[in-house]
Structure 1
Amino acid sequence: MPTAAPSANTLVHFDIQDGRLLPAAFVPSPNFGARPAPYDVAANLRLIVIHNISLPPSEFGKTNAAGEHYVKAFFQNRLDPADHPYFAQIYQQQVSAHVLIERDGQVTQFVNFADRAWHAGQSRYLGVANCNDFSIGIELEGDDYTAFDARQYDALAAVVAAINRTYPKTRRHLAGHSDIARGRKTDPGAEFDWLRLRRLIAQYAD
Protein backbone atom coordinates (compact mmCIF):
# COMPACT_ATOMS: atom_id res chain seq x y z
CA MET A 1 0.00 0.00 0.00
CA PRO A 2 1.19 3.57 -0.63
CA THR A 3 2.33 5.62 2.31
CA ALA A 4 -0.64 7.03 4.21
CA ALA A 5 -1.43 10.65 3.55
CA PRO A 6 -0.03 13.07 6.13
CA SER A 7 -2.44 14.43 8.71
CA ALA A 8 -2.71 18.07 9.67
CA ASN A 9 0.11 19.48 11.82
CA THR A 10 2.12 16.27 11.50
CA LEU A 11 5.72 16.49 10.33
CA VAL A 12 6.18 13.54 7.99
CA HIS A 13 9.56 11.81 7.80
CA PHE A 14 11.08 9.62 5.12
CA ASP A 15 14.42 7.84 5.02
CA ILE A 16 16.41 6.56 2.06
CA GLN A 17 18.16 3.21 2.22
CA ASP A 18 19.96 1.79 -0.81
CA GLY A 19 18.05 4.15 -3.08
CA ARG A 20 14.65 3.25 -1.65
CA LEU A 21 12.36 5.84 -0.08
CA LEU A 22 11.00 4.43 3.16
CA PRO A 23 8.27 3.83 4.20
CA ALA A 24 6.83 4.70 0.77
CA ALA A 25 5.46 1.84 -1.32
CA PHE A 26 7.73 0.69 -4.13
CA VAL A 27 5.91 -0.16 -7.37
CA PRO A 28 8.66 -0.99 -9.88
CA SER A 29 8.44 0.62 -13.30
CA PRO A 30 10.14 -1.10 -16.24
CA ASN A 31 10.95 2.34 -17.61
CA PHE A 32 14.37 3.14 -16.19
CA GLY A 33 18.05 2.78 -16.98
CA ALA A 34 21.44 2.85 -15.35
CA ARG A 35 23.04 6.21 -14.75
CA PRO A 36 26.20 6.81 -16.82
CA ALA A 37 29.06 4.58 -15.73
CA PRO A 38 31.19 4.93 -13.76
CA TYR A 39 28.73 6.80 -11.54
CA ASP A 40 29.01 7.71 -7.88
CA VAL A 41 25.41 8.53 -6.98
CA ALA A 42 26.26 10.41 -3.80
CA ALA A 43 28.80 12.56 -5.62
CA ASN A 44 26.95 13.20 -8.87
CA LEU A 45 23.22 13.18 -8.14
CA ARG A 46 22.56 16.90 -7.79
CA LEU A 47 19.13 17.97 -9.05
CA ILE A 48 15.49 17.46 -8.04
CA VAL A 49 12.91 18.13 -10.76
CA ILE A 50 9.25 18.81 -9.93
CA HIS A 51 6.57 17.85 -12.47
CA ASN A 52 2.80 17.60 -12.59
CA ILE A 53 0.70 14.89 -14.21
CA SER A 54 -2.97 13.95 -14.41
CA LEU A 55 -4.69 11.23 -16.39
CA PRO A 56 -6.99 11.94 -18.05
CA PRO A 57 -5.77 15.54 -18.27
CA SER A 58 -7.02 17.71 -15.39
CA GLU A 59 -8.83 14.77 -13.78
CA PHE A 60 -7.53 13.53 -10.45
CA GLY A 61 -7.69 10.19 -8.67
CA LYS A 62 -9.06 8.35 -11.69
CA THR A 63 -8.63 4.58 -11.88
CA ASN A 64 -9.16 1.81 -14.39
CA ALA A 65 -11.67 -1.02 -14.05
CA ALA A 66 -9.21 -2.92 -11.86
CA GLY A 67 -8.94 0.03 -9.48
CA GLU A 68 -5.41 0.96 -10.56
CA HIS A 69 -4.58 4.66 -10.59
CA TYR A 70 -4.12 5.73 -14.21
CA VAL A 71 -0.79 7.44 -13.57
CA LYS A 72 0.58 4.31 -11.92
CA ALA A 73 -0.68 2.24 -14.85
CA PHE A 74 1.04 4.66 -17.25
CA PHE A 75 4.39 4.32 -15.47
CA GLN A 76 4.06 0.54 -15.71
CA ASN A 77 3.08 0.46 -19.40
CA ARG A 78 -0.42 -0.76 -18.56
CA LEU A 79 -2.48 2.18 -19.78
CA ASP A 80 -5.41 0.94 -21.88
CA PRO A 81 -5.97 3.17 -24.94
CA ALA A 82 -9.64 2.18 -24.95
CA ASP A 83 -10.24 3.83 -21.57
CA HIS A 84 -9.98 7.42 -22.83
CA PRO A 85 -9.28 9.10 -26.20
CA TYR A 86 -6.20 10.83 -24.78
CA PHE A 87 -4.69 7.51 -23.74
CA ALA A 88 -4.54 6.41 -27.37
CA GLN A 89 -1.99 9.19 -27.92
CA ILE A 90 0.33 8.26 -25.06
CA TYR A 91 -0.09 4.63 -24.07
CA GLN A 92 2.98 3.50 -26.03
CA GLN A 93 5.25 6.08 -24.44
CA GLN A 94 7.71 4.63 -21.95
CA VAL A 95 8.10 7.14 -19.15
CA SER A 96 8.45 7.14 -15.40
CA ALA A 97 9.29 9.28 -12.41
CA HIS A 98 11.14 8.28 -9.30
CA VAL A 99 8.20 9.34 -7.12
CA LEU A 100 4.50 10.16 -7.48
CA ILE A 101 2.60 12.20 -4.88
CA GLU A 102 -1.17 11.92 -5.22
CA ARG A 103 -3.68 14.63 -4.32
CA ASP A 104 -4.16 13.23 -0.82
CA GLY A 105 -0.42 13.13 -0.18
CA GLN A 106 0.12 9.43 -0.74
CA VAL A 107 3.66 8.72 -1.91
CA THR A 108 4.75 5.91 -4.24
CA GLN A 109 8.24 5.24 -5.58
CA PHE A 110 8.67 3.70 -9.05
CA VAL A 111 12.42 3.85 -9.69
CA ASN A 112 15.33 3.44 -7.30
CA PHE A 113 17.16 6.73 -6.83
CA ALA A 114 20.40 5.07 -7.95
CA ASP A 115 18.83 4.60 -11.39
CA ARG A 116 17.64 6.95 -14.13
CA ALA A 117 13.91 7.47 -14.32
CA TRP A 118 12.67 8.64 -17.71
CA HIS A 119 11.06 11.92 -16.67
CA ALA A 120 13.01 14.87 -18.07
CA GLY A 121 13.26 14.17 -21.78
CA GLN A 122 15.31 16.63 -23.79
CA SER A 123 16.58 18.92 -21.07
CA ARG A 124 19.39 21.12 -19.82
CA TYR A 125 20.31 22.49 -16.39
CA LEU A 126 23.09 25.02 -15.79
CA GLY A 127 24.48 24.22 -19.21
CA VAL A 128 24.49 20.44 -18.74
CA ALA A 129 22.23 18.38 -21.00
CA ASN A 130 20.39 15.12 -20.32
CA CYS A 131 19.06 15.87 -16.85
CA ASN A 132 17.86 12.30 -16.37
CA ASP A 133 21.51 11.38 -15.85
CA PHE A 134 21.92 13.41 -12.66
CA SER A 135 18.44 14.15 -11.32
CA ILE A 136 15.53 12.76 -9.36
CA GLY A 137 12.06 13.31 -10.85
CA ILE A 138 9.02 13.84 -8.63
CA GLU A 139 5.52 13.94 -10.13
CA LEU A 140 2.68 15.71 -8.34
CA GLU A 141 -0.81 14.68 -9.36
CA GLY A 142 -2.18 17.91 -10.76
CA ASP A 143 -2.12 20.32 -13.67
CA ASP A 144 -0.94 23.83 -14.50
CA TYR A 145 -4.24 25.46 -13.56
CA THR A 146 -5.35 23.92 -10.25
CA ALA A 147 -3.88 24.67 -6.83
CA PHE A 148 -2.07 21.72 -5.31
CA ASP A 149 -3.36 20.15 -2.11
CA ALA A 150 -1.75 21.06 1.22
CA ARG A 151 -1.09 17.36 1.80
CA GLN A 152 0.96 17.25 -1.38
CA TYR A 153 3.16 20.10 -0.20
CA ASP A 154 3.67 18.39 3.17
CA ALA A 155 4.60 15.10 1.55
CA LEU A 156 6.78 16.76 -1.08
CA ALA A 157 8.73 18.69 1.55
CA ALA A 158 9.35 15.48 3.49
CA VAL A 159 10.52 13.64 0.38
CA VAL A 160 12.80 16.50 -0.69
CA ALA A 161 14.25 16.73 2.83
CA ALA A 162 15.09 13.02 2.77
CA ILE A 163 16.74 13.38 -0.64
CA ASN A 164 18.72 16.39 0.56
CA ARG A 165 20.03 14.46 3.55
CA THR A 166 21.11 11.49 1.45
CA TYR A 167 22.35 13.36 -1.63
CA PRO A 168 23.65 16.70 -0.27
CA LYS A 169 24.34 18.27 -3.67
CA THR A 170 20.58 18.42 -4.30
CA ARG A 171 20.13 20.96 -1.50
CA ARG A 172 20.95 23.84 -3.83
CA HIS A 173 19.31 22.52 -6.97
CA LEU A 174 15.51 22.28 -7.07
CA ALA A 175 13.81 23.04 -10.40
CA GLY A 176 10.59 22.64 -12.30
CA HIS A 177 10.30 20.69 -15.52
CA SER A 178 9.70 24.05 -17.19
CA ASP A 179 13.12 25.24 -15.99
CA ILE A 180 15.04 22.40 -17.61
CA ALA A 181 12.93 22.11 -20.78
CA ARG A 182 12.23 25.75 -21.60
CA GLY A 183 9.68 26.29 -24.32
CA ARG A 184 8.77 22.61 -24.30
CA LYS A 185 7.28 22.05 -20.84
CA THR A 186 5.25 24.23 -18.48
CA ASP A 187 4.94 22.13 -15.34
CA PRO A 188 4.62 22.28 -12.42
CA GLY A 189 2.79 25.42 -13.53
CA ALA A 190 1.91 28.86 -12.20
CA GLU A 191 -0.20 27.42 -9.38
CA PHE A 192 2.81 25.76 -7.78
CA ASP A 193 3.93 27.67 -4.68
CA TRP A 194 7.73 27.46 -4.55
CA LEU A 195 7.98 29.70 -1.49
CA ARG A 196 5.57 27.49 0.44
CA LEU A 197 7.61 24.42 -0.44
CA ARG A 198 10.88 26.01 0.64
CA ARG A 199 9.37 27.09 3.96
CA LEU A 200 8.18 23.55 4.60
CA ILE A 201 11.55 22.07 3.68
CA ALA A 202 13.20 24.44 6.16
CA GLN A 203 11.35 22.69 8.99
CA TYR A 204 13.56 19.67 8.37
CA ALA A 205 16.84 21.59 8.60
CA ASP A 206 19.37 20.02 10.96
Structure 2
Amino acid sequence: MSRKKALIVEDHPLMATALADEFVSAMGEGSVALAASSLEEALTTLAKERFFDCVIIDPGLPDVPDDDPSKRIDLVKKIVANLASTTTIVVTTGAPSEVEASKLSAIGVHAYMSKAETNAVTIKAAVRNQPLPEGVPQQAIFSTNVLTPRQLEVYRTYLTLKQGKPNASNEELIELISTSTQVNYETTRSHLYNALKKLK
Protein backbone atom coordinates (compact mmCIF):
# COMPACT_ATOMS: atom_id res chain seq x y z
CA MET A 1 0.00 0.00 0.00
CA SER A 2 1.41 3.39 -0.98
CA ARG A 3 1.98 5.98 1.68
CA LYS A 4 -0.91 8.46 1.93
CA LYS A 5 -0.95 12.00 3.27
CA ALA A 6 -3.82 14.00 4.77
CA LEU A 7 -4.47 17.49 6.03
CA ILE A 8 -6.86 17.70 8.99
CA VAL A 9 -8.56 21.11 9.31
CA GLU A 10 -9.98 21.03 12.84
CA ASP A 11 -9.65 23.51 15.71
CA HIS A 12 -10.11 21.07 18.60
CA PRO A 13 -6.72 19.39 19.27
CA LEU A 14 -8.18 16.13 20.62
CA MET A 15 -10.54 15.79 17.64
CA ALA A 16 -7.73 16.63 15.21
CA THR A 17 -5.59 13.90 16.79
CA ALA A 18 -8.48 11.43 16.66
CA LEU A 19 -9.14 12.16 12.96
CA ALA A 20 -5.42 11.84 12.18
CA ASP A 21 -5.32 8.48 13.95
CA GLU A 22 -8.40 7.29 12.03
CA PHE A 23 -6.82 8.34 8.73
CA VAL A 24 -3.56 6.50 9.46
CA SER A 25 -5.54 3.45 10.61
CA ALA A 26 -7.54 3.57 7.36
CA MET A 27 -4.62 4.02 4.99
CA GLY A 28 -1.94 1.94 6.67
CA GLU A 29 1.56 2.16 8.07
CA GLY A 30 3.63 5.05 6.78
CA SER A 31 0.63 7.30 6.17
CA VAL A 32 0.82 10.75 7.76
CA ALA A 33 -1.60 13.51 8.71
CA LEU A 34 -0.84 17.18 9.22
CA ALA A 35 -3.15 19.45 11.21
CA ALA A 36 -4.39 23.03 10.77
CA SER A 37 -6.54 24.68 13.43
CA SER A 38 -7.81 27.61 11.35
CA LEU A 39 -8.51 28.61 7.75
CA GLU A 40 -5.41 30.81 7.75
CA GLU A 41 -3.22 27.94 8.92
CA ALA A 42 -4.76 25.59 6.35
CA LEU A 43 -4.12 28.03 3.49
CA THR A 44 -0.55 28.60 4.69
CA THR A 45 0.04 24.85 4.64
CA LEU A 46 -1.53 24.50 1.19
CA ALA A 47 0.60 27.34 -0.17
CA LYS A 48 3.61 25.15 0.58
CA GLU A 49 2.11 21.80 -0.40
CA ARG A 50 -1.08 21.25 -2.47
CA PHE A 51 -0.76 17.52 -3.03
CA PHE A 52 -2.61 15.73 -0.26
CA ASP A 53 -4.42 12.47 -0.83
CA CYS A 54 -7.17 13.57 1.53
CA VAL A 55 -8.28 16.73 3.32
CA ILE A 56 -10.71 16.42 6.22
CA ILE A 57 -12.45 19.70 7.07
CA ASP A 58 -14.60 20.79 10.00
CA PRO A 59 -16.33 23.90 8.59
CA GLY A 60 -17.21 25.13 12.08
CA LEU A 61 -13.86 26.76 12.68
CA PRO A 62 -13.34 29.91 14.80
CA ASP A 63 -13.03 31.81 11.49
CA VAL A 64 -16.75 31.21 10.84
CA PRO A 65 -19.57 33.20 12.53
CA ASP A 66 -22.09 30.87 14.20
CA ASP A 67 -25.04 32.82 12.81
CA ASP A 68 -24.08 32.65 9.10
CA PRO A 69 -24.23 29.14 7.53
CA SER A 70 -23.09 30.51 4.16
CA LYS A 71 -19.70 31.30 5.68
CA ARG A 72 -19.18 27.58 6.30
CA ILE A 73 -19.57 26.97 2.56
CA ASP A 74 -17.23 29.87 1.78
CA LEU A 75 -14.58 28.45 4.11
CA VAL A 76 -14.67 25.09 2.36
CA LYS A 77 -14.59 26.80 -1.07
CA LYS A 78 -11.39 28.63 -0.13
CA ILE A 79 -9.73 25.38 0.85
CA VAL A 80 -11.01 23.49 -2.21
CA ALA A 81 -9.65 26.22 -4.49
CA ASN A 82 -6.14 25.52 -3.22
CA LEU A 83 -6.19 21.74 -3.56
CA ALA A 84 -4.90 19.49 -6.30
CA SER A 85 -7.72 18.02 -8.39
CA THR A 86 -6.82 14.50 -7.20
CA THR A 87 -7.44 15.26 -3.50
CA THR A 88 -10.33 13.52 -1.77
CA ILE A 89 -12.26 16.11 0.24
CA VAL A 90 -14.15 15.04 3.34
CA VAL A 91 -16.27 17.38 5.46
CA THR A 92 -17.07 16.28 9.00
CA THR A 93 -19.45 18.16 11.24
CA GLY A 94 -21.24 17.93 14.55
CA ALA A 95 -24.41 19.30 12.96
CA PRO A 96 -24.95 17.63 9.56
CA SER A 97 -27.50 19.15 7.19
CA GLU A 98 -28.89 17.87 3.89
CA VAL A 99 -28.87 21.41 2.49
CA GLU A 100 -25.23 21.92 3.42
CA ALA A 101 -24.34 18.46 2.09
CA SER A 102 -25.87 19.29 -1.30
CA LYS A 103 -24.07 22.64 -1.56
CA LEU A 104 -20.74 21.09 -0.61
CA SER A 105 -21.16 18.24 -3.07
CA ALA A 106 -21.65 20.82 -5.80
CA ILE A 107 -18.26 22.43 -5.12
CA GLY A 108 -16.33 19.18 -5.14
CA VAL A 109 -16.63 17.67 -1.67
CA HIS A 110 -16.55 13.88 -1.98
CA ALA A 111 -17.89 12.90 1.43
CA TYR A 112 -19.97 14.64 4.08
CA MET A 113 -20.57 12.96 7.41
CA SER A 114 -21.25 13.56 11.06
CA LYS A 115 -18.29 13.42 13.41
CA ALA A 116 -19.78 10.27 14.92
CA GLU A 117 -19.54 8.59 11.48
CA THR A 118 -16.03 9.82 10.67
CA ASN A 119 -13.77 6.85 11.27
CA ALA A 120 -11.27 4.58 9.54
CA VAL A 121 -14.03 2.72 7.67
CA THR A 122 -15.73 5.79 6.17
CA ILE A 123 -12.45 7.62 5.49
CA LYS A 124 -11.07 4.59 3.65
CA ALA A 125 -14.25 4.30 1.58
CA ALA A 126 -14.07 7.99 0.64
CA VAL A 127 -10.40 7.96 -0.36
CA ARG A 128 -10.78 4.78 -2.41
CA ASN A 129 -14.19 5.78 -3.82
CA GLN A 130 -15.68 2.52 -2.57
CA PRO A 131 -19.16 1.68 -1.28
CA LEU A 132 -19.59 1.57 2.47
CA PRO A 133 -19.67 -1.82 4.18
CA GLU A 134 -23.02 -3.22 5.24
CA GLY A 135 -24.24 -1.71 8.48
CA VAL A 136 -22.59 1.70 7.97
CA PRO A 137 -25.12 4.53 7.34
CA GLN A 138 -25.06 5.07 3.56
CA GLN A 139 -25.92 8.75 3.98
CA ALA A 140 -22.49 9.17 5.57
CA ILE A 141 -20.84 9.42 2.17
CA PHE A 142 -21.57 10.49 -1.37
CA SER A 143 -19.68 11.00 -4.61
CA THR A 144 -19.50 14.36 -6.30
CA ASN A 145 -22.13 14.13 -9.03
CA VAL A 146 -23.34 17.65 -9.73
CA LEU A 147 -20.42 18.74 -11.92
CA THR A 148 -18.58 16.69 -14.51
CA PRO A 149 -14.85 16.12 -13.82
CA ARG A 150 -13.90 18.75 -16.43
CA GLN A 151 -16.41 21.28 -15.08
CA LEU A 152 -15.07 20.68 -11.58
CA GLU A 153 -11.47 21.18 -12.74
CA VAL A 154 -12.35 24.44 -14.54
CA TYR A 155 -14.44 25.67 -11.58
CA ARG A 156 -11.65 24.98 -9.07
CA THR A 157 -9.16 26.80 -11.29
CA TYR A 158 -11.63 29.69 -11.61
CA LEU A 159 -11.94 29.97 -7.80
CA THR A 160 -8.16 29.98 -7.39
CA LEU A 161 -7.64 32.68 -10.04
CA LYS A 162 -10.55 34.76 -8.71
CA GLN A 163 -8.88 34.95 -5.30
CA GLY A 164 -5.66 36.28 -6.81
CA LYS A 165 -7.35 38.54 -9.39
CA PRO A 166 -10.62 39.73 -7.80
CA ASN A 167 -11.07 42.55 -10.34
CA ALA A 168 -10.54 40.41 -13.43
CA SER A 169 -13.51 39.78 -15.71
CA ASN A 170 -14.77 36.27 -16.32
CA GLU A 171 -13.52 36.50 -19.90
CA GLU A 172 -10.00 37.29 -18.67
CA LEU A 173 -10.15 34.41 -16.20
CA ILE A 174 -11.42 32.03 -18.88
CA GLU A 175 -8.44 32.96 -21.05
CA LEU A 176 -6.07 32.17 -18.15
CA ILE A 177 -7.87 28.88 -17.41
CA SER A 178 -7.73 27.93 -21.09
CA THR A 179 -3.98 28.52 -21.13
CA SER A 180 -3.31 26.60 -17.91
CA THR A 181 -5.49 23.60 -18.82
CA GLN A 182 -4.58 23.63 -22.53
CA VAL A 183 -8.26 23.49 -23.49
CA ASN A 184 -9.54 25.93 -26.11
CA TYR A 185 -11.30 29.11 -25.00
CA GLU A 186 -14.85 28.23 -26.14
CA THR A 187 -14.78 24.80 -24.50
CA THR A 188 -13.40 26.29 -21.28
CA ARG A 189 -16.06 29.00 -21.35
CA SER A 190 -18.79 26.39 -21.82
CA HIS A 191 -17.50 24.30 -18.91
CA LEU A 192 -17.32 27.33 -16.59
CA TYR A 193 -20.73 28.75 -17.38
CA ASN A 194 -22.40 25.34 -17.17
CA ALA A 195 -20.75 24.85 -13.76
CA LEU A 196 -21.83 28.30 -12.54
CA LYS A 197 -25.37 27.66 -13.76
CA LYS A 198 -25.55 24.35 -11.88
CA LEU A 199 -24.24 25.94 -8.70
CA LYS A 200 -26.75 28.82 -8.60
Structure with the higher strand share, 1 or 2: 1
TM-score, normalised to structure 2's length? 0.28
Structure with the higher helix share, 1 or 2: 2
Please say which structure displays the higher CA radius of gyration.
2
TM-score, normalised to structure 1's length? 0.28
Higher relative CO (Cα under 8 Å, sequence separation at least 6) belongs to 1
